[in-house]
Structure 1
């Protein structure tokens, strides 16, 4: 039986084409939702872009008929702008009808009482779903772009190796496989003494690869666990053009990516520049506008990248017995001046073509699927992209663990020869940070 779906503004700001995702059912957009979307169309961030796309899509549908009367969709469904059902009596006493959420709830409750069909309020606002449930309104999250990642154990393959295979592996850096494996998969090779050797399947899935070995340490950084070994293997494999590093804070995602990028850019000169970026999503209360030029404005948001760079460059300087943070700071400035390092805001990447660069996108869990696609399609010839993030630590108001860009990337590209993915699980920042993360 056909259903009626009432869309909250959060759904359209998350997916501007959401109205076309409800098959043959009827989609209702309350008029107040249009007002909310219009108020955000001038924003320069992802929310503003989504608002503009949603308005353009509705304007396109208007060519097929009057939206207030309902317009048929190509999938057999129908979309309608709801102008009525504004009443102060339908909601509990003292409800503020100037609030957009209450007006959307009033529309949903009126339709629930009038329609013989099931009426479902679709919203990504958790509080809105709780209020709707209290009023007896059927409610649901927008699940069209939800991705359920497999468990970590399912992503890791376990393969026993005999002594002859191990000797061949150490001698030739690879061994052929009798049965092909998915490309660029993490493999735990179990040796005859039950020890574990971290390996990768090749990009064609026909071999097990052991390129780096125990002595490999890009920019003097050595892996501290099996997952970090896999990460470094992927980061330094030129055949893997896109690497997805997922894991909690302190597992070494950004540090490993920066160390590998510096090694391949500054020393090996495989790339002309290392470009680092992260989305500007402040944690906690925003401090408002910042003074200064662009670099000074974005410095607080980019500070985690600077912290890791200072750690990596300081260790090099200490070995040369050069002192203090001033030299470390000047080393970062020197790399920027020589155009071997660029620290950029994601806002300014749109429209660029970026060839022969090592791109690191930090905090990528705060990116939508559209933003991830935009970033990856900027890559020119010879460019490698590394995305780092924790899907469990999302600050974006319209994203969650199952609808962020990292999860979308993993669901769409797993199995591709140019894509590699590692989920780090063990914190290595410090014993204090690791114990606190568990106990607190």
Structure 2
């Protein structure tokens, strides 16, 4: 039986193409949704962009007929704009019908009473789903962009090794596999005495590479656990152009990425510049407009990156300093920026750029949508490496969750590609206090 899906504004702001994702069912958009899109369309952020795109799609569908009567969609479904009619008194007493959410709920409830088909309200708003359920209205999240993110530990391959294979790994650095596995997979090589060594598969999945006897010092940073060893191994592989570092706070994602970037850019000169960026989403109540130039405005949002850079660069500040440097108080971070070897930017300004031969680090990538992640990755030119860092369990974006954020989207869709590698960092190494508090609280 065909169904009727009523779309909330949050769905169209999350994915303007949502109207084409419900197969041959009927899509109903309440008039209140159009009013909310109208109010959002002038915004210069991604919400405004999504609102404008959704309106453009609806405008194109007008050529097929009158939207209030219903128009056919390419997937043999139908889309209709529904006015905010009220038959009787569908909402509880004292409900404010002027609120857009209540008008959308009223439309859904009335349709459910009048239509013999199942009527389902689709919304990204959790509170909206709770209110709909209280009114006995069928409701669901928007599932089209959701992915099934496998737990980090389940991604790791465990392989029993014979003594002959271990000897070959230490002598030659790699061994062939009898059966191919996914490219760039993290492998726990288990020895006969139950100890483990970090291994990684090649980009074609036919060999195992030993990371245990590799250079363990990356810009002064030594891996503290097997997951960090995998991370450094993947980051230092030039064949892997896209790296996904996932894990909770304190596991070293940003520090490892920056240490590898400095090693390969400053020391080895494999890349011309380091580009660090993160989405501007404040934690807690926003403090409002910030004074100063662009550099001054973005500094508070970029402070976690500055903290890690200053920690990494302080021991080598004298070596990086020019002999004719005017200020002895000038920080190593400022020196690298002056030499154009380091750029710290907000993601707002990355759209439209073509970035070649750079080491790009995107921090807090779990707060990006799948569309935003795609936009960032497609900025990469020849010789560029992109590293995504984030925690899928720590999301501040109002319309994203663990299964629909861009970080999880990349992990699910690109796994198995020869140019892609991912590592799940699980052990907190920031400090004993941070690790124990994260565990107990």
TM-score (norm 2): 0.96
Question: Do the aligned partners of residues 194 and 121 (structure 1) sit closer, same or farther apart at CA in structure 2, a change above 3 Å counting?
Answer: same
Q: Is the 8 A contact 1:254 1:362 kept in 2?
A: yes
> How far, CA to CA, are the matches of 2:46 and 2:238 in structure 1?
32
Determine the structure 2 residue equivalent to 1:16: 16
> How far, CA to CA, are the matches of 1:423 and 1:246 in structure 2?
5
1:167 is displaced (CA, Å) by: 2.2
Q: Write out aligned runs for 1:197-346 (5 A).
A: 197-210=197-210, 213=213, 215-317=215-317, 330-346=331-347
> How far, CA to CA, are the matches of 2:330 and 2:221 in structure 1?
20
Q: Is the 8 A contact 2:96 2:102 kept in 1?
A: yes
> How far, CA to CA, are the matches of 1:74 and 1:67 in structure 2?
15
Q: Does 1:120 align with 2:115?
A: no
Q: Does 1:56 align with 2:35?
A: no
Runs of 4+ in 1 over 3 A off after TM superposition: 315-320, 326-329
Structure 2: any 5+ residue segments left out of the alignment?
A: 321-326
Q: What do the CA deviations read for 1:241-288 (whole angstroms, capped 9, x no partner)?
A: 000000000000000000000000011000000000000011111111
Question: Do the aligned partners of residues 190 and 432 (structure 1) sit closer, same or farther apart at CA in structure 2, a change above 3 Å counting?
Answer: same
1:163 is displaced (CA, Å) by: 2.4
Q: Does 1:162 align with 2:155?
A: no
Q: What do the CA deviations read for 1:199-245 (whole angstroms, capped 9, x no partner)?
A: 10000111111257354211010111111110000010001100000
> How far, CA to CA, are the matches of 1:360 and 1:145 in structure 2?
24
Q: What do the CA deviations read for 1:108-152 (whole angstroms, capped 9, x no partner)?
A: 111111111111111011111111111111111111111111233
Question: Do the aligned partners of residues 328 and 155 (structure 1) sit closer, same or farther apart at CA in structure 2, a change above 3 Å counting?
Answer: farther
Question: Do the aligned partners of residues 115 and 87 (structure 1) sit closer, same or farther apart at CA in structure 2, a change above 3 Å counting?
Answer: closer
1:292 is displaced (CA, Å) by: 0.7
Determine the structure 2 residue equivalent to 1:323: none
Secondary structure at the aligned position of 1:79 is classed as strand
Q: What do the CA deviations read for 1:289-311 (whole angstroms, capped 9, x no partner)?
A: 11111111111110000011011
Q: Does 1:358 align with 2:347?
A: no
Report which stretch shifted further, 164-173 or 374-383: 164-173
Q: Does 1:373 align with 2:374?
A: yes
Q: Does 1:145 align with 2:145?
A: yes
1:197 is displaced (CA, Å) by: 0.3
Q: Is the 8 A contact 1:310 1:329 kept in 2?
A: no
> How far, CA to CA, are the matches of 2:330 and 2:285 in structure 1?
29
1:153 is displaced (CA, Å) by: 3.5
Q: Is the 8 A contact 1:88 1:97 kept in 2?
A: no
Question: Do the aligned partners of residues 140 and 187 (structure 1) sit closer, same or farther apart at CA in structure 2, a change above 3 Å counting?
Answer: same
Determine the structure 1 residue equivalent to 2:323: none
Secondary structure at the aligned position of 2:6 is classed as strand
Secondary structure at the aligned position of 2:345 is classed as strand
> How far, CA to CA, are the matches of 2:84 and 2:427 in structure 1?
55
Q: Is the 8 A contact 2:174 2:207 kept in 1?
A: yes
1:318 is displaced (CA, Å) by: 9.1
Q: What do the CA deviations read for 1:3-38 (whole angstroms, capped 9, x no partner)?
A: 111100000011101011111110100011011112
> How far, CA to CA, are the matches of 1:258 and 1:398 in structure 2?
29
TM-score (norm 1): 0.96
Q: Would you say how many aligned residue pairs link Structure 1 and Structure 2?
A: 435
Q: Does 1:73 align with 2:69?
A: no
Q: Is the 8 A contact 2:11 2:124 kept in 1?
A: yes
Secondary structure at the aligned position of 2:219 is classed as helix
Determine the structure 2 residue equivalent to 1:384: 385
Secondary structure at the aligned position of 1:109 is classed as helix
Question: Do the aligned partners of residues 327 and 60 (structure 1) sit closer, same or farther apart at CA in structure 2, a change above 3 Å counting?
Answer: farther
